[in-house]
Amino acid sequence: MKNAIEIYNLTKEYGNTIALENVTISCAHNKIYGLLGRNGAGKTTLMHLLAGQLLPTEGSIHIYGENVYENHEALAKICYIGPFSNINNYVKAYRVRDFFKTASLFYPNWDQDFADKLIRLFSLDIKKHYRNLSSGMLSMVSIVISLASRAPLTLLDEPYTGLDAAARQEFYDVLAEDYSNHPRTIIFSTHLIDEASKLFEDVILLHQGQILLQKSLETLEESSFVITGDEEILKSVLSNKNIIRIENMGRRAAYSLYDTLSEQEKPVLTQAGLEVRSLTLQQLFVYLTANKEGLRC
Amino acid sequence: MLLSNESPKPIYQQIAEGIEDDILTRRLKEGEQAYSTNHIAKVYQINPATAGKGINMLVDEEILFKRRGLGMFVADGAVKRIRQKRKQSFYNDYLIKALLEAKKIGIGSNEIIEMIAKYEKGERP
């Protein structure tokens, strides 16, 4: 199989609402993808479709060459971790250790030693009942499962609701290390973009149910800048660039561009007294998905 | 080394420059073993592919070399090669910015030369 995921012409409708429209993407083996999009962009729908929890209205999804819906063998290769909202009463009687027991039976690559290490790292009390867990502790349970399952395809859908900054750093740390030792395909959706972006190799941006872009992080880093200085100079030197946002302050301005700057162009800008910085992925995301009325170009 | 996502340089270049800095300041000596991709990925919480790209850039420039089964090592002559390369960017990355700032606050060329002379003697301006 050339790719881990092949999605072709995928459309998902809920009644009259179109959640995803004509989505075609493929994801390579063993890369970490950042899946970005505003609220309601279709991220969770896409994750649920990948996890075999929904059927597409149109189009196809193949994971490791197979259809996943009601395909138990294929599903054992996929670990989906999302917000813990739709837990039924039966599961509420679970203790933390029961979640890990269930996961260990379901995932063939489950690593109990690693799970125990993570439980100690997050100071999780495995005897606690589900109903007595805070949202942060619930997220820790999810995270332990997502990492210790070592599933070839790991779907992390906003995995850390309620998790404090220190615990999030621990999570990034463990993820970077474990992924280095055990590469797998990870789709990671988060709103804390600047915190997580260094972990991404590729970025998929969903906007209003459609794919706005899919590019490597490096390509995006090399094609998103903010340049500040005298507006007259900015206007003349950046006239042929794709400007996505302009902010003025008197005669000064900041031009954000989604375009490349060559190694010849950068010193010319500096010599003209302009300051060149990179847009963070979060800024690029905000500007590209802003309401059109907010744009002045 | 601190990674910045506002630097106009991509993360992999910042990683490569951080390793170069350690070689220039002899924290890493020629012939010694350099950091592994996985170690860099863990310490800076970055994707190992990004770390690998920074290391490969230095391998292409013959600053690092790979010993099969052992990892990455600092090449002989690495310091010289880094210095040559950095000299080219010194003007763009540092000098122009300093001169623009000097012009803005009205420091003339003679005054700057005096400052350099004093700095070399270990005096304060």
Hey, where are the domains in chain B? 11-77, 79-121
| pLDDT category of residue A295 using cuts at 50, 70 and 90 | very low
B98 part of contact set with chain A, CB < 8 Å: no
Which of residues 4 through 33 in chain B touch A, CB cutoff 8 A?
A: 5-12
Q: What span, in angstroms and rounded, lies between the C-alpha atoms of A228 and B61?
A: 33
Instruction: Specify the amino acid at residue A219.
Output: T
A188 part of contact set with chain B, CB < 8 Å: no
Helices (H), chain A: 43-50, 72-75, 89-92, 96-106, 112-121, 135-148, 165-181, 193-196, 217-221, 231-237, 265-271, 281-288
**Residue range A167-191: mean pLDDT, rounded:** 94
Q: What span, in angstroms and rounded, lies between the C-alpha atoms of A24 and A161?
A: 29
- Tell me the ipTM for this assembly: 0.78
Region for A64 from its dihedrals, namely left if φ exceeds 0, alpha if ψ lies in -120 to 50, beta otherwise: left
Nearest Cβ partner of A176 from B5, B6, B42?
Answer: B42
| pLDDT category of residue A212 using cuts at 50, 70 and 90 | very high
State whether B5 and A281 contact (CB < 8 Å): yes
pLDDT of residue A296: 46
pLDDT of residue A70: 86
* Third-level CATH fold of B11-77: Arc Repressor Mutant, subunit A (1.10.10)
Query: Tokens in use for A222?
Result: 């090399």
Q: What span, in angstroms and rounded, lies between the C-alpha atoms of A26 and B42?
A: 27
Q: Write down all domains in chain A, each with its CATH number in brackets.
A: 5-215 (3.40.50.300), 222-294 (3.30.70.240)
Query: Tokens in use for A167?
Result: 């615990």
Q: Within 13 A of A192's CA, how many CA atoms are on the CB side?
A: 15
pLDDT of residue A161: 81
Taken as a whole, chain B contains a residue count of 125
List phi, psi (to 5°) of A204: -115, 125
Helices (H), B1-125: 11-24, 37-44, 48-60, 78-90, 96-105, 109-121
Mutate to test the interface with A, among B2, B13, B38, B47 (most CBs of A within 10 A): B47
Query: Tokens in use for A150?
Result: 């070592």
Query: Tokens in use for A120?
Result: 């100690």
Q: Is A290 helix (H, G, I), strand (E, B) or coil?
A: coil
B125 part of contact set with chain A, CB < 8 Å: no
State whether B8 and A276 contact (CB < 8 Å): yes
Determine contact, residues A153/A79, Cβ cutoff 8 Å: yes
Q: What pLDDT digit, counting tens, does each position of A91-146 carry?
A: 777 899 999 999 999 999 999 999 999 999 999 999 998 888 888 888 999 999 99
Determine contact, residues A20/A42, Cβ cutoff 8 Å: yes
Which of residues 41 through 70 in chain B touch A, CB cutoff 8 A?
A: 41-42, 44-50, 53
pLDDT of residue A292: 58
pLDDT of residue B8: 83
Taken as a whole, chain A contains a residue count of 297
